[in-house]
Every structure is written in structure tokens, then in C-alpha cells.
């Protein structure tokens, strides 16, 4: 085991290392809820989405939070959901203008919007780009009609192909979300989806294993899914094919060509700060003497009702020193390339003594590679990431 340099305990802000700050905005509505989805998303009652009220509430939420982030620059904005591509372009433009008027954005700040097939087309993408969006994330999941029907998506393979072409005609930076281990899917079918995505030339792919999340229709009535061995074969084949295609596997489920990695998500995974606005949005903010976790009111109606009173926060708590090592590891160990040791002290303010016992155990079990200046998971650690993280849970 490599001997680690001792560091004195300070909060990150006291040590002069305020983490980069990102902004997450949650749009909670979808055309229809998918049976595997456990995100905070809702089909609108009566078909009407209160987009103007939502936009005004987001601005009011930001104004209430400005004192917490005074003097700090925003390095990225991510508008997720739900299905943010249901937003009319004028509403999005008004919102981004309001954010720019109140926040100092870093030069070349990354601004991502999630979009789903069936809810957007080239004209709307052009308008989003003109409003300031410079990165698009597409919820494709599959290009196979049968697979899409089995997981309850509202689009078909033709829609998926059209929206991908439209997106790449408007944006230089596009992510394609794919899922594998779908009901009835074979290895050949999973690789066919991947080849279709690669043929479009997008610079970023996110490849997720379908999981049965508690509380979802799929968890209550599970479909017939490929077995663990078949799913592992799909994962291995996907990773190998993307490596051959020049993609770097820079996070557990994320693959990017040079210069195409998602800067917003990298900020999460390196334990940076983020302000979360919108129904159910989570935030992490480093302030003098503490790291705060915040959660906004989850249900859209409750969030919009609270906006009139300036009541946005459902939960706020300071992360304890006992919790910080696990929270840090839960994020950074998702990065196959690892992180420099100095980041632990800079982001948490803790001495490396706080994780020494866990590091020794993880190293002995072959889950971590440790050098004098760097920490990274081994191939075994990436495969058994949950087992690795449990080592750092507070007791």
C-alpha cells in the first residue's frame, strides 16, 4: 500500500478550493411515463403543460438562491427531465436570457438540453441553438421497433433516426442514449443498435443496462430480460466496439471521442458543486464551514404552488464529516481514469486519514489501484463497483 501524505482538516472554501459550479434545471413533464423510469417525470393532466408558470418559478427559485452562490461563475447548465424538448423555443430563450442576466456564465459554458424523439425536429433544434443551447442529449434507447415497443417508448426506429439526423445537422455536440439488456434482446441486436448509432457520427454515447427500479411498472410486473451472463456479454462487447471506434470510456456508462466528454457530468463525478432548480432537483453547494445538500419540492404542483411564497426547499442538510468520504468515492470511482489524490482534500476538506482503512481494504481485495498521486478503480473494481463503494459507507 502506498504511503499517503497527511493533510490537515479544512473546509474546501477555507482552503481556497471552491469547486466548479454547475446549474441543473429540471423540467418534470413527459408525453407519457415509461414503465422502467423512476425519474421525477409526469404526464400532464389534461394535456396542458404550464410552461410559463414553470419558467417563472425557475427564475424565482434562482433569485432566492443567489446569496448562496454569490461571486461564483457557472461552468455548465443542464436542462433535464422529463422531456425538456416539449418546451416551446420562446419559453426556453426567455429562461436562458433571465439566467444570463442574473448569473455570470463562464466563457464557452456548456449548455445541454435533453430531447426525445417524437417531441422535436430540426426547426425546433435550430431555435434551441439560437437561444444558446450548444449540446443536445437524445433519449433514443434503441433503433429497433420491437425493442422500443417492449420498453414503452412513444417513438419508433424511424423517429429515432430522423431526430438523430436533425440533431447532428444543428449541433456539433450530441449525445445518444442507448439501453441494452432489453426484454428479448440478443447480443446481435444490442450491437446492431450500437452500429446504427456509430454510423451517425455522434461524438458521445451513453450506454445503460436496463434495471428494474423499485416502484416502477416494470418492477411490479417484470418483463423477461436477458440473464446476467448475457447482459455482461453485451456490456463487454459494447465497450470493446466503442474502444475500436475511438471512444474513450471515461465514466461507467459514458463514452466520448476526444473533446466530446460531458463537462457538466464530469463536474458531478469529480465532486463539484451544482445548484439544482425545478421540481425534485438536487443540489450540492460548498459554503464556508460546510457542504450542503438540497432537494426542491418534488411534485410539480407543490413546487409551483410554493413558488408564490418563495417556498422551494423540501430538504436541506449539511453533509457530515462521516458521510463525506462515501459521497466523494461514490462519484469519483465512476471514472475509469481515476482522480488525483489532491482532489479528496480540495473537495472535502478532510485528511486522507479519513479513508486510509477503506483504501487498504479495497486495495487488498484488488478493487483499487493506488499510487503516490492517483486513485483509480481496477477492472475488477469497475465490475463490482457496489461492493467497492460499500467499503466506504459510514458505520
Tell me the chain's radius of gyration from C-alpha atoms: 21
Q: What's the confidence (pLDDT) of residue 8?
A: 44
User: Residue 7 pLDDT more than 70?
Assistant: no
Residue 208, Cα to own-chain centre: how many angstroms? 12
Considering only 13-27, 29-43, 260-274, which range has the smallest mean pLDDT?
Answer: 13-27
Tell me which CATH code domain 321-395 carries. 1.10.10.920
Q: What's the confidence (pLDDT) of residue 136?
A: 98
pLDDT tens track for 58-93: 999 999 999 999 999 999 999 999 999 999 999 999
Residue of higher predicted confidence among 4 and 41: 41
What average pLDDT does the segment 170-190 reach? 98
pLDDT bracket for residue 2 (50, 70, 90) = very low
Q: Name the burial class of residue 53, with classes exposed (0-12), middle (13-18) and buried (19+) by CB atoms within 10 angstroms of its CB.
A: middle
Q: Where in the chain is the domain with CATH 3.20.20.70?
A: 21-268
Residue 4, Cα to own-chain centre: how many angstroms? 31
Q: What's the confidence (pLDDT) of residue 120?
A: 82
Contact assessment for residue 368 and residue 377, using Cβ atoms and an 8 Å cutoff? yes
User: Residue 218 pLDDT more than 70?
Assistant: yes
User: Residue 6 pLDDT more than 50?
Assistant: no
pLDDT tens track for 346-369: 999 999 899 999 999 999 999 999
Q: What's the confidence (pLDDT) of residue 59?
A: 98
Percent of the residues in the chain that have a pLDDT greater than 70, as a whole number: 96
What average pLDDT does the segment 262-270 reach? 97
pLDDT tens track for 277-336: 999 999 999 988 889 999 999 999 999 999 999 999 999 999 999 999 999 999 999 999
Q: What's the confidence (pLDDT) of residue 47?
A: 77
**What pTM was computed for the model?**
0.93
Contact assessment for residue 190 and residue 238, using Cβ atoms and an 8 Å cutoff? yes
Q: What's the confidence (pLDDT) of residue 12?
A: 58
What pairs with residue 21 in β-bridges?
74, 273
User: Residue 3 pLDDT more than 60?
Assistant: no
| CATH class of segment(s) 21-268 | alpha beta
Q: Where in the chain is the domain with CATH 1.10.10.920?
A: 321-395
User: Residue 107 pLDDT more than 60?
Assistant: yes
Is omega for the bond preceding 82 within 30 degrees of 0, making it cis?
yes
pLDDT bracket for residue 226 (50, 70, 90) = very high
Spatial separation of the C-alpha atoms in residues 328 and 107, rounded to whole Å: 28
Q: What's the confidence (pLDDT) of residue 17?
A: 60
What average pLDDT does the segment 149-162 reach? 96
Q: What's the confidence (pLDDT) of residue 45?
A: 81
pLDDT tens track for 232-250: 999 999 999 999 999 999 9
pLDDT tens track for 24-40: 999 999 999 999 999 99
Percent of the residues in the chain that have a pLDDT greater than 90, as a whole number: 88
Amino acid at each position: 500500500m502506498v504511503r499517503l501524505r497527511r493533510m490537515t482538516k479544512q473546509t474546501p472554501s477555507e482552503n481556497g478550493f471552491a469547486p466548479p459550479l454547475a446549474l441543473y434545471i429540471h423540467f418534470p413533464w413527459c408525453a407519457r411515463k415509461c414503465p422502467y423510469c423512476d425519474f421525477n417525470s409526469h404526464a400532464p393532466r389534461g394535456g396542458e403543460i404550464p410552461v410559463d408558470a414553470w419558467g417563472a418559478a425557475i427564475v424565482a427559485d434562482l433569485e432566492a438562491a443567489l446569496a448562496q452562490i454569490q461571486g461564483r461563475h457557472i461552468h455548465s447548465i443542464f436542462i433535464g427531465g422529463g422531456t425538456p424538448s416539449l418546451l416551446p423555443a420562446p419559453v426556453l430563450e426567455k429562461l436562458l436570457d433571465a439566467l444570463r442576466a442574473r448569473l455570470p456564465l463562464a466563457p464557452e459554458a456548456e449548455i445541454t438540453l435533453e430531447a426525445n424523439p417524437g417531441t422535436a425536429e430540426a426547426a425546433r433544434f435550430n431555435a434551441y441553438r439560437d437561444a444558446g443551447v450548444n449540446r443536445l442529449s437524445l433519449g433514443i434507447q434503441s433503433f429497433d421497433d420491437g425493442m422500443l415497443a417492449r420498453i414503452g417508448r412513444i417513438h419508433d426506429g424511424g423517429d429515432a433516426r430522423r431526430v438523430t439526423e436533425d440533431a447532428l445537422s444543428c449541433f456539433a455536440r450530441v449525445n445518444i442514449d442507448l439501453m441494452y439488456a432489453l426484454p428479448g434482446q440478443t447480443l446481435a441486436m444490442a450491437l446492431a443498435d450500437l452500429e446504427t448509432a456509430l454510423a451517425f457520427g455522434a461524438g458521445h454515447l451513453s450506454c445503460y443496462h436496463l434495471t428494474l427500479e423499485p416502484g416502477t411498472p416494470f418492477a411490479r410486473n417484470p418483463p423477461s430480460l436477458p440473464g446476467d451472463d448475457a447482459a455482461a456479454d453485451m456490456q463487454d462487447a459494447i465497450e470493446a466496439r466503442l474502444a475500436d471506434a475511438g471512444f474513450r470510456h471515461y465514466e461507467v456508462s459514458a463514452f466520448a471521442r476526444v473533446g466530446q466528454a460531458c463537462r457538466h457530468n464530469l463536474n458531478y463525478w469529480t465532486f463539484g458543486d451544482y445548484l439544482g432548480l425545478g421540481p425534485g432537483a438536487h443540489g450540492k453547494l460548498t459554503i464556508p464551514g460546510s457542504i450542503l445538500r438540497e432537494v426542491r419540492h418534488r411534485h410539480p404542483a407543490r413546487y409551483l404552488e410554493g413558488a408564490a411564497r418563495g417556498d422551494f426547499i423540501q430538504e436541506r442538510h449539511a453533509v457530515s464529516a462521516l458521510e463525506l468520504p462515501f459521497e466523494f468515492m461514490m462519484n469519483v470511482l465512476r471514472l475509469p481514469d481515476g482522480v488525483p489524490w489532491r482532489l479528496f482534500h480540495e473537495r472535502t476538506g478532510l485528511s486522507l486519514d479519513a479513508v486510509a482503512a477503506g483504501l487498504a481494504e479495497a486495495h487488498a481485495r484488488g478493487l483499487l489501484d493506488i499510487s503516490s498521486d492517483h486513485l483509480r478503480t481496477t477492472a475488477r473494481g469497475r465490475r463490482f463497483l457496489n461492493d467497492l463503494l460499500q467499503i466506504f459507507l459510514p458505520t
